[in-house]
Structures are given as structure tokens and as C-alpha cells.
Amino acid sequence: MPTDPGPTFTRSDALTTKHDMLLETATRRDEAEALLRVLMEARESSERNLASIGQPDLVKEVTGRSSIDNAIASTKRLIESFNRVLADLRDGLEPEDAELLAEIRAQNGTQNGAVPG
């Protein structure tokens, strides 16, 4: 009785997985960048509001950094991590894989076949 070797994965399957990882990572990085913008706006607004009522940021007085400053720093580190992962994923592509990835992305109608940066 022949044994079933299981599913076979082609180079295209592996590249599709890498493509999915690139897209997902770029999407999450973009979301983190949007969050960073919101946090920075919130910090400015908070500082204006505290100044207008003459109230200090008590957390900042005690620790040297406000809660929003900590969130901004953490989000910046997250974005840097996403960018490193994206660079690693792009660097691992052979030229023919990059071409195949561009074809797949073009078929899916995403960013004119460009790898997210």
C-alpha cells in the first residue's frame, strides 16, 4: 500500500507565505505608525491642557517621563522592530523570487508589485 507523502509545497507556496508575512508585517508597522501619530498628538494636547490649568504632570515629575512619553518610546521601538523584520524578509529574496513575488502582488492588485518598505 503506497504511503501518502503529504502535501507538496512548491517554491511559489513558500514565496506566497513570505509575501503574506511581508504584507502582514507592513500592515502592522503602518498601524503602529498611525498609533504613534495619535500618541504624539495626545501628548501635545495633554501638555497644552495641563499648562492651561497650571497643573503639572505628576507621573513626569516623579519618573522624569510621562505615561504618554513611555507609550511613544515603546511604539517607536515596535516600529523599529517591524522595519528590521521587513528588511530581513526583503534581503532573503533571490532576484527571481522578487520577480515572482511582484507577479503575485500584481495579480492580487497590491502596490504595483512593490515589496512593502
Tens-place pLDDT, residues 62-107 = 999 999 999 999 999 999 999 999 888 888 777 776 776 666 666 6
Give CA 95 to chain center in angstroms: 24
Q: How far apart are CA 22 and CA 90, in angstroms?
A: 8
- Predicted confidence band of residue 116 (pLDDT cuts 50, 70, 90): very low
Q: How far apart are CA 101 and CA 14, in angstroms?
A: 10
Predicted pLDDT at 34: 96
Short-list 94, 63, 79, 93, CA closest to 29: 79
H or E segment to which residue 29 belongs: helix 11-53
What pLDDT, in 10s, does the model give residues 85-97?
988 888 877 777 6
**Other beta carbons within 10 Å of 62:** 8
What angle separates helix 67-91 from helix 11-53, to the nearest 10 degrees? 160
> Cα(32)–Cα(86) distance, rounded to whole angstroms?
14
Rounded to the nearest integer, the mean pLDDT of the chain is 81
Tens-digit pLDDT profile for residues 11-21: 566 667 877 88
**Where does residue 35 fall: left (phi above 0), alpha (psi -120 to 50 degrees), or beta otherwise?**
alpha
Decide: pTM greater than 0.75.
no
**pLDDT tens readout for residues 27-47:** 899 999 999 999 999 999 999
